[in-house]
Amino acid sequence: MSDREVKNLEEMFDAKIARDEKIEPKDWMPEKYRQTHIRQMSQHAHSEIVGMLPEGNWISRAPSLKRKVALLAKIQDEAGHGLYLYSATETLGISREELYEQLHSGKAKYSSIFNYPTLTWADMGAIGWLVDGAAIINQVPLCSTSFGPYARAMVRVCKEESFHQRQGFQIIMTLAEGSQEQKEMAQDALNRWWWPSLMMLGPLDAESIHTEQSMKWKLKRKSNDDLRQQFIDQTVPQAEMIGLTIPDPDLKWNEEKQSYDFGEMNWDEFWQVVKGHGPCNKERISARVNAWENGKWVRDAAMAYAEKQENKVVKQAI
């Protein structure tokens, strides 16, 4: 194809997206569109999968059977989200094994918030309330993104997220209404998860490189700063309602802009964690690598069994 032809195709492609038409896997697409989607969708899938680990830490120590079944169901949903997203990513022509390989080798990233440890039961509340809360804010606009399989996966994901956030909030609310010690536990969890949750919504707009292209492709519909403001404005009253304090001395209602002003985030810490120096980066990746490698004999055995059954059928047919 000549450069001129490619440029024509690209213009038609952009126009199609601007008209709110979806792009499906077999449609022509610019190579950059394909690569950007593989990167973002797989990063999203990896986040769902690695995101199970901090919460998995508390399944066996949930304070009641009711809490335990809810947490299990929540984590199982996250596994489902990872699987929807992996299979949507595979439609772009990359295999599941390659995707895993990128995660395991550190080539692919996942949301850095999952590199923080879950120290107390209150963290299960804080994660559902804040981390899933921030995730919802990120994900709702993606339900109308331009790539069909991604948009459809996000619709499914968003339907399931609301339960995650509600079960988390109920955990933290119950603790906040409890004994002094329980209340302190809730406050401590909020203190530790607040800032990472804000930074989870992405770098400041001023420092964000991909935004314009992503907006055009509807991979992003609102800027990181707007999403963050939305998150803060909706979360602060929730904390007030249960008598917890947001750990930000600069947080203040701004009457004029009808939203909260807030303090500076520690981006040095954020980038340290992204680069692999968070408290649990090594532990998270090694958990995934071990699961994959130690499960190899199971995958092989299942495949060997399937092939044997198939051979039997073929023999009978002859």
Partner 1 sequence: MKNWPLWEVFIRSKNGLEHRHCGSLHASDATMALENARDVYTRRMEGVSIWVVPSTEITASNPDDNAEFFEPASDKIYRHPTFYELPDELKHM
Q: Are 191 and 247 in contact (CB under 8 A)?
A: yes
Q: Are 200 and 111 in contact (CB under 8 A)?
A: yes
Classify residue 207 by its DSSP letter: G
Least distance CB 221 / Fe ion (angstroms): 19
Q: Which does 305 bind (CB under 5 to 8 A by kind): partner 1, Fe ion, none?
A: partner 1
Q: Taking Cα atoms as reference points, which of 121, 129, 43 lies closest to residue 89?
A: 43
Least distance CB 2 / partner 1 (angstroms): 17
Candidates 55, 90, 132, 248: give the one binding Fe ion (CB under 5 A).
132
| Interacting span for partner 1 (CB under 8 A) from 75-83, 118-126, 140-148, 219-227 | 75-83
- Residue 216, classed as helix, strand or coil, is helix
User: Residue 252's beta-bridge partner residues?
Assistant: 261
Q: Which does 39 bind (CB under 5 to 8 A by kind): partner 1, Fe ion, none?
A: none
Candidates 8, 234, 254, 309: give the one binding partner 1 (CB under 8 A).
309
In whole angstroms, give the CA distance from residue 75 to residue 48: 9
Q: Is 80 in the site for partner 1 (CB under 8 A)?
A: yes
In whole angstroms, give the CA distance from residue 145 to residue 214: 10
In whole angstroms, give the CA distance from residue 222 to residue 4: 32
| Interacting span for Fe ion (CB under 5 A) from 77-85, 205-213, 292-300, 309-317 | 77-85
Residues 6+ apart with CB under 8 A from 41: 85, 88, 89, 92, 147, 150
Q: Is 46 in the site for Fe ion (CB under 5 A)?
A: no
Q: Are 261 and 254 in contact (CB under 8 A)?
A: yes
| Interacting span for Fe ion (CB under 5 A) from 26-34, 131-139, 141-149, 179-187 | 131-139
DSSP codes of every residue in 136-170: HHHHGGGGG-SBHHHHHHHHHHHHHHHHHHHHHHH
Q: Is 148 in the site for partner 1 (CB under 8 A)?
A: no
Least distance CB 262 / partner 1 (angstroms): 36
Q: Given its phi and psi angles, is residue 190 left (phi above 0), alpha (psi -120 to 50 degrees) or beta? A: alpha
Q: Mark residues 96-115: x for contact with partner 1 by CB under 8 A, - for none.
A: xx------------------
Candidates 18, 69, 241, 304: give the one binding partner 1 (CB under 8 A).
304
User: Which residue in the block uniquely carries the two structure tokens 């792009």?
Assistant: 23
User: Residue 254's beta-bridge partner residues?
Assistant: 259
Q: Mark residues 47-76: x for contact with Fe ion by CB under 5 A, - for none.
A: -x----------------------------
Least distance CB 43 / Fe ion (angstroms): 13
Q: Is 164 in the site for Fe ion (CB under 5 A)?
A: yes
Binding footprint of partner 1 on the chain (CB under 8 A): 24, 26-28, 73, 76-77, 80, 83-84, 87-88, 90, 95-97, 152-153, 156, 160, 299-300, 302-307, 309-310
